[in-house]
Amino acid sequence: MPRTAIIGGGVTGLAAAYEFVCAGAEAVLIEAEPRLGGVIQTDVVEGCVIEGGPDSFLSAKPAGEELVRELGLGGELISSNDHQRVTYVVRHGRLVPLPDGLMMMVPTRVMPLVLSPLLGWGTKLRMGLEYFRRPRPARADRSVAEFIEDHYGREAVDYLAEPLLAGVYGGSPERLSVESVLARFVELERSYGSLTRGVLAARRAARARGTESAPLFRTLKGGLAQLTAELEKRIRPHCRVIHGRAERVERAGGRWAVSLGGETLDADNLLLACQAWQAGALLRSVDERLSAELEAIPYTSSVTLALGYRREDCGPVPPGFGFLVPARERKALVACTFVGAKFPHRVPDSHVVLRCFLGGAGGEAVLELSDEELIRQVRADLSRLLGWDADPRFTRLRRWRRAMAQYEVGHARRVAAIREMAARHPGLELAGNAYEGIGVPDCIRTGRAAARALAAGTASR
Ligand SMILES: Cc1cc2nc3c(=O)[nH]c(=O)nc-3n(C[C@H](O)[C@H](O)[C@H](O)COP(=O)(O)OP(=O)(O)OC[C@H]3O[C@@H](n4cnc5c(N)ncnc54)[C@H](O)[C@@H]3O)c2cc1C
């Protein structure tokens, strides 16, 4: 039976290892940190579930929920409280709700847009007229900023696209690829011309299929670490787990040799489930061009900071999921989630938890600040935006260095080249958030597909 070395014990590597275990194939999981799970990290403090990394996954991507159910955790699944789904955007220092009916940056209802103080009259008029655009022939990849500005104008980039993408990708719309990040909108532009008309048509089709009311996000009651802990439990008896940093990989006699901590581990197959820049560094002596392409995928770094309060100590929480701070209005905070409002069961009634997101493209200097200074800056923002000056009862801070891959313009072409080069090395697979999707379900899907392909002796695509 061939043996596979998996490098990286985040959710991608864990899902891959689980797939090997299910197939009865031999795998060794190598993880640099003393714990498995990668950026998925959950703490429970005073009964509050605090996510240090991702807090949920998109329900529209089935690989997450499928795995959760397969592991017998279906009873732990919870959905976002979509009936309270108001998100605010900061404009002139005030929280302004995103107009009702907005699908990312695409307006689908007239009156809420007309009445919203978030955008000026010029932008509103332009958004209305966009409805009449004709389909356009396919075009080369562009930045998200160029695409959205073309449809709705600059203000829609600054007050919708930028804060939304900074909150999800830690990325800048000037650099992110519309083909990779908003593929569905590119498709709608091609078919309908107008994004608004396209989204309305897609919504009608979803209504006819009865899928329109699916919740936006799903997660686990006790946090996403329930998923990684269960995966770990399932693989431990069958799969060797080594906690150590893989330093180099080499190809010798048709096999892979992984060096770590003075030891060399031999394997028939190699599954790189680590960050692309790590995969690139590891493959330097195997394939220089492949290594360079992997290392060229940019990453951004970020910080999450949760602040927990007794409800009676803090000010009123605006109804909704939280708020986004556009770059034009930003000091430290990029986004803030009102955890107890977004998900049921996560925060007892006695408490309020704000989960703050900082850093990302253009804001990575915050990673070098001390914990005290970071907390001070976030509290200054909360005081300015929410009028809250109370001392939090607890804080939890996580720094994520070079953790979020950036799908910049040309990303799809680069990934196709990477896949082609990797296919020339028998027994090599790459999976994770750097390639065809950044979210947890994408990582699970690519990790499992890569493992299935290696176990079957075929290529994953
Ligand atoms: C702050 C934050 C919030 C997010 N929020 C969401 C969200 O709400 N929903 C969502 O769907 N997605 C979210 N994401 C994205 C998603 O969480 C990640 O894309 C996904 O979890 C990445 O999993 P992974 O296993 O590919 O990588 P990682 O979790 O980064 O794991 C890679 C692992 O490889 C190990 N490694 C690297 N190099 C080596 C080496 N040489 N030897 C041994 N081990 C090595 C690392 O130590 C690490 O543990 C978020 C990401 C971040 C950072």
**325-379 tens-digit pLDDT:** 999 999 999 999 999 999 888 999 999 999 999 999 999 999 999 999 999 999 9
β-strand partners of 242: 30
In the DSSP assignment, the letter for residue 432 is: S
Query: How far is ligand 1, taken at its centre, from the CA of residue 439, in Å?
Result: 9
Where the chain has pLDDT below 70, the residues are: 1, 211-213, 458-461
* pLDDT at site 181: 96
Same domain, 370 and 415: no
Q: Is there a contact between 325 and 333 (Cβ–Cβ < 8 Å)?
A: yes
Number of residues that make up the chain: 461
- Residue 352's H or E segment, with its range, is strand 351-359
Q: Is 433 in the pocket of ligand 1 (CB under 6 A)?
A: yes
Tokens found for residue 310? 């007794």
Nearest CA to ligand 1 atom 49: 38
35: CB partners within 8 A, 6+ apart = none
Judgement on whether residues 344 and 271 belong to the same structural domain of the protein = no
CATH number, domain with residue 234: 3.50.50.60
Q: Do 230 and 188 have their domain in common?
A: no
The pLDDT of residue 57:
96
Is any atom of ligand 1 closer than 6 Å to the C-beta of 425?
A: no
User: Ligand 1: does its nearest atom lie under 6 Å from the Cβ of 156?
Assistant: no
Q: Quote the pLDDT of residue 417.
A: 98
Number of structural domains in the chain: 3
The candidate with the shortest Cα–Cα distance to 170, out of 416, 438, 431, 397, is 438
Shared-domain flag, residues 286 and 425: yes
Looking at 185, 209, 233, the residue that finishes a domain is 209
Residues 275-306: tens digit of each pLDDT: 999 999 999 999 999 999 999 999 999 999 99
Nearest residue by C-alpha to atom 47 in ligand 1: 32
Residues 17 and 108 in one domain: no
Q: Is 367 in the pocket of ligand 1 (CB under 6 A)?
A: no
**Structural domain of residue 181, as residue ranges?**
100-209
Has residue 435 been placed in a domain? yes
Asked if residue 304 and residue 291 are part of one domain, the reply reads: no
Q: Global pTM?
A: 0.95
Ligand 1 centroid–CA 35 distance in Å is: 13
* pLDDT computed for residue 6 by the predictor: 98
Please identify, by atom number, the ligand 1 atom nearest to the C-alpha of residue 36.
49
Q: Is 32 in the pocket of ligand 1 (CB under 6 A)?
A: yes
The β-bridge partners of 428 are 270
Note the pLDDT of residue 85. 81
Distance CA 307, CA 317 (A): 13
Let me know: does 422 contact 412? Beta carbons within 8 Å.
no
Residue ID of nearest Cα to ligand 1 atom 7: 54
CB atoms within 10 A of CB 61: 17
CA 454 – CA 273 distance, rounded (Å): 13
User: What pLDDT score does 458 carry?
Assistant: 60
**Ligand 1 center–CA 405 separation, angstroms:** 10
Nearest C-alpha to atom 22 of ligand 1 is from which residue?
433
Residue nearest to atom 10 of ligand 1 (CA): 439
Q: Does any domain span residue 156?
A: yes
Q: Give the chain's largest Cα–Cα span.
A: 69
Q: Are residues 104 and 204 in the same domain?
A: yes
